[in-house]
Amino acid sequence: MHSSSPNTIKETLNAQYEQNDEGEIQLNNYVLEEELGKGSFGTVFRGRDTNDGRPVAVKVFSKTRLRKQHLQANGFGRMIGRGGMRGGMRGGMRPNLMRGPSNPIDFVRGEIAILKKLNHRNIVKLFEVLDDPNGDGLYMVYECCEKGTVMNISLNRKTESFDEEMCRYYFREMFLGIEYLHENDIAHRDIKPDNLLLAANGTLKIVDFGVSEMFSSGDDMSKKSSGSPAFFAPELCEIQHGELSAKACDIWAMGITLYCFAFGCLPFEGVSIIELYDLIQNKPIEIPSGMSDSFNDILLKMLERNPEKRITISEIRDHPWLTRNGIDPLPSKQENCTNVIELITEDDLQGAVRNINNLFTVIKAVSKLKQLRRLSNARKSA
């Protein structure tokens, strides 16, 4: 394996949004189109780069929501997720509730620094960060995943599931991205279908590195309870848990995600966070019929409640279900992890976005965008 050079991410400090001559809302050279949804820290719009016509996704970040997210991650938040409690009730409960970065923008700074270093076909790419030094907001421009989330999972509602071959395809794509992350001592910490998007050609892209963690080589122990509780490993459900393996937590979440792929629902659903945690820790794992014994075997090994006995990434690679007993081999680990990242330094974190304190809230930005859109529609109607 050899080191790769950092991804080139443009940093623009003079972001302006306005209505162009065609009545479209434009952010510098990006035309903003319809709203695609709300991520962990902001609103996402479909966009188009007027320089080359390529589709992009534009994330509008909110300083207010970043601070709120920090409080939720420390136990103050309610059980929330996209669309109410969609995607597994994003939040968490942690001891030492007020401990953490004094500035919640550190979460964004960390995500930018991580994405600046990663280079893998199954991990979303960040193209540009735009900041207005005279305003109070931040935009991030990513590659567009035109086909959206791989699956929409909601609490207490079954969705259409995939057949076993499609489950295998999507799981293999997810596995290759997570193997690359873990090889580079990064734990994602929020693996779920909501954070797996599909490009136009069907390639799966892992997104949302807002709560991801970086570790020293070989040491993935963490005390944090980041992520979405419906995808929490049992060891995360202990309110006063000590250090635990963040990579093992990722593997449990991969197992819950595979369960969703196959059966269109979550295996554990509670009416309260306490009930949910109890079910995750104690409810017998029931696998509906219809899948192969090999599928059931790998799923149960990922959903092993004892993290020390849980299957590892290297063991998943060797499991016959992934390759249909060798008929469809994976790229080798050396091929998959060729572009190892350079060490992410404190300078990377501090310099991820210059003048990062000059952020503006998504409330103001989205309000302005909607105002301009209404004006545009009124002119078109006239």
Which residues, in sequence order, are CB contacts of 343 under 8 Å at separation 6+? none
Work out the burial of residue 143: count CB atoms within 10 Å of its CB; fewer than 13 is exposed, 13-18 middle, 19 or more buried: middle
Q: How far apart are CA 89 and CA 275, in angstroms?
A: 13
Q: What single string gives the DSSP state of each residue in 291-328? A: S-HHHHHHHHHHT-SSTTTSPPHHHHHT-HHHHTTTTS
Q: What single string gives the DSSP state of each residue in 255-274? A: HHHHHHHHHSS-S---SSHH
List 131, 132, 190, 250, catalytic entry: 190
190 is catalytic: yes
Q: How far apart are CA 333 and CA 180, in angstroms?
A: 9
CB 200 within 8 A of CB 147: yes
309 is in an annotated binding site: no
Work out the burial of residue 278: count CB atoms within 10 Å of its CB; fewer than 13 is exposed, 13-18 middle, 19 or more buried: middle
Q: How far apart are CA 139 and CA 118, in angstroms?
A: 20
Dihedral in degrees, nearest 10, Cα atoms 177, 193, 311, 187: 50
For 159-164, the CB contacts below 8 A with 24+ separation are: 159/264, 159/265, 160/264, 161/261, 161/262, 161/263, 161/264, 162/261, 162/262, 164/262, 164/291, 164/292, 164/295
CB 197 within 8 A of CB 204: yes
Which residues have a catalytic role annotated?
A: 190
User: Which residue numbers belong to the known binding site?
Assistant: 59
User: Which residue numbers belong to the known binding site for ATP?
Assistant: 59
